[in-house]
Amino acid sequence: GAPDGRSFLEKWIEADLAKGGRCEKLKEKVLTRFPPEPNGYLHIGHAKSIMINFGLAYKYGGQCNLRFDDTNPDTEETEYVEAIQEDVAWVCQALNMEKMKKGGKPWKDEVLYASDYFQQMYDFAIDLIKHGKAYVDSQTPEEVQKNRGGGPNNLPGVDSKFRNRSVEENLKLFQEMQDGKHAEGSQLLRAKIDMQHPNMNMRDPPMYRIRFSSHHRSGDKWKVYPMYDFAHGNEDAIEGVTHSICTLEFENHRALYDWFLDNCSIIPSRPYQKEFARLEVQGAVTSKRKLLRYSIRSHKDQIVQSLVEQEGHVSGWDDSRLLTIRGIRRRGVRPQGLKCMADGVGVSDRNSTTPWDFVEECWREDLEPISKRRLAVLDPLEVEIVDYNKEELIEGITDLPEQSASSDPSCARTLSFSKSLFIDRSDYQENPPEGYFRLGAIGSEVKLRHSYVIKLKEVIKDKSGTVTKLKCSHDPATRDTMPADRKPKVIHWVNAKDCLDAEVRLINPLFLAMPDPMPEGKDFLDYINPEAMVRCAAKVEKALGKPVLEDRYQFERVGYFAPDYDCFSEPKKLSFNRVVPLKESADK
């Protein structure tokens, strides 16, 4: 961020507001938009764009439109439209918007569709033709490409031989394109700018091409579809968007964005574009095109599973290993965790890659203060307390360290204790290395969290030599206190008499470190982490038996967890996802 704490986007908006806003006739002094193409599910990068566009609008008392940029009939599906709305609303929960607190949607009014502006855009195109600023080009696609120039030798462009057609002829041909009289690819409506322009995007860019596919909303009404560069500024202008914020790859297109708005005589308002660096997360594959390769793809009514999905890498778009918004949400990250990440990365005009550790640190920071402390044993090893024959309750254990059970009994729970327990297998080592202070040699001691110090008496093994049980004694004076003369290590445990079986899923990065550049013949699918989801048959304390979706836990000494959807859908299965591990340095 900037030295004074304001981002360059904030300064930009504030400078406009200081002048009284972009323009007097605009209702909104700040109107931004989030314009996803409905061709896939949103991912972690989109979350940043959502935070920026909705966040800035909200900060300056403005609004943000949710606009489906559905100008390409080939790739868009209604299926994604619903999912995207749900995901945007979920991410925006972190912004604490007043209108959302009252049950409203985060966006201004209804959701918007670029396809609703097809007629207006068509009229804008006609206006440009009439002013001699656009023409129908009948070159073949190969000629169009070749005559653009550029390339390694930076060739100048060559004017099309159709460039000087009369206005009348252009109007007639454009109408014929829309009437379906010309084949796909045979004609192109192009802006008449400059075939020698140093910015390749300005070399008579295409405005309209012919497409015969059915559009997910307008059906077969249109045979010509606007190109992104022409459409985007038009869409912004039609809506009265004041600040059109996009990612850096469009920096080179800004001249064109401006050209279309400045050259059309019937443009209803004048928006401006500014670019910021997209969020790239180390090791993450977020591109929708690539995601389709390893997730379920639902196409029309038929579920088509990609090759890779059939090999079982992920189960769907909400698989908790994916960095789709749905995957992140299912894993147990909260919208506030995404906001913490977006704020932490900040707004920059230079591209960079965010380290995975940083992302985890933000998610952890969000969960730390609100996660209920619980005991869960991921790799259970039986312990018998040989000198203990009662059962007792240990009361008044609070969910969070700073809470007090005496002033607020609602945050307190009770643990039960018996002679039969489970501890984590890693808290015993037959041949402990130096500096190992848990159970190892006969006579070694640990303190059980919220309970007694126990001392190892005997190790039981099966025929194969696997340790199956530890027999221990206990020190009755230590239940509620550390012994005065020694400071044994504290470990977690559960009572075998009333603990519950649960599947605990350790979510690790979906991809192993990838070389950059990628070696010849390899692609990201060769780097799938086979341990991206490790399933543990865990034993968890009784209080974890009735989770609610919003619950977040710190399994003490293990990490931060959330109940998985499988807890709530039939057949119900008690299962928890590890959102993030504990900090590396944390007590092990």
Residues found near Mg ion in the complex (CB under 5 A): 37, 288
Catalytic one among 22, 203, 254, 288? 288
Letter for the amino acid at 494? V
CB 543 within 8 A of CB 413: yes
Cis peptide before 483 (omega within 30 of 0): no
When the beta carbons of 112 and 376 are compared against Mg ion, the nearer one is: 112
246 binds, among ligand ATP, Mg ion, none (CB under 5 to 8 A by kind): ligand ATP
Stretch that binds ligand ATP, among 185-193, 280-288, 421-429, 502-510 (CB under 6 A): 280-288
72 binds, among Mg ion, ligand ATP, none (CB under 5 to 8 A by kind): none
Measuring CA to CA, which residue among 126, 95, 560, 527 is closest to residue 373?
A: 560
Q: How far apart are CA 170 and CA 571, in angstroms?
A: 63
Smallest distance from ligand ATP to CB 251, Å: 12
Give strand ranges (E) for 239-312.
243-247, 272-276, 280-281, 296-299, 302-305
What character string, x for contact with ligand ATP (CB under 6 A) and - otherwise, covers 34-63?
-xxx--x----xx-xx--------------
404: contact with ligand ATP by CB under 6 A: no
Smallest distance from ligand ATP to CB 104, Å: 22
When the beta carbons of 48 and 330 are compared against ligand ATP, the nearer one is: 48
**SS3 state of residue 398:** strand
Stretch that binds ligand ATP, among 13-21, 30-38, 152-160, 357-365 (CB under 6 A): 30-38
Q: Tell me how many residues contact ligand ATP (CB under 6 A).
A: 15
578 carries an active-site annotation: no
Using the rule CB under 6 A, which residue among 286, 295, 354, 554 binds ligand ATP? 286
Residue 449: how many CB atoms within 10 A of its CB? 16
278: contact with ligand ATP by CB under 6 A: yes
CB 216 within 8 A of CB 8: no
247: contact with ligand ATP by CB under 6 A: yes
Q: DSSP letter at 202?
A: G
Catalytic one among 6, 37, 105, 211? 37
353: contact with ligand ATP by CB under 6 A: no
374 carries an active-site annotation: no
Q: How far apart are CA 527 and CA 510, in angstroms?
A: 8
423: contact with ligand ATP by CB under 6 A: no
37 carries an active-site annotation: yes
When the beta carbons of 111 and 467 are compared against ligand ATP, the nearer one is: 111
* Strands of the 63-68 sheet, one edge to the other: 31-34, 63-68, 112-113
Q: Find where tokens 């995207």 sit.
A: 84
Residue 550: how many CB atoms within 10 A of its CB? 9
Distances (CA, A) of 423 to 296, 554, 582: 39, 17, 19
Using the rule CB under 6 A, which residue among 125, 126, 193, 246 binds ligand ATP? 246
Instruction: Write the CB contacts of 89 (distance below 8 Å, at least 6 apart in sequence).
Output: 100, 105, 106
9: its two tokens: 């986007």
Residues annotated catalytic, as ranges: 37, 278, 288
What is the contact surface with ligand ATP in residues (CB under 6 A)? 35-37, 40, 45-46, 48-49, 246-247, 278-279, 286-288
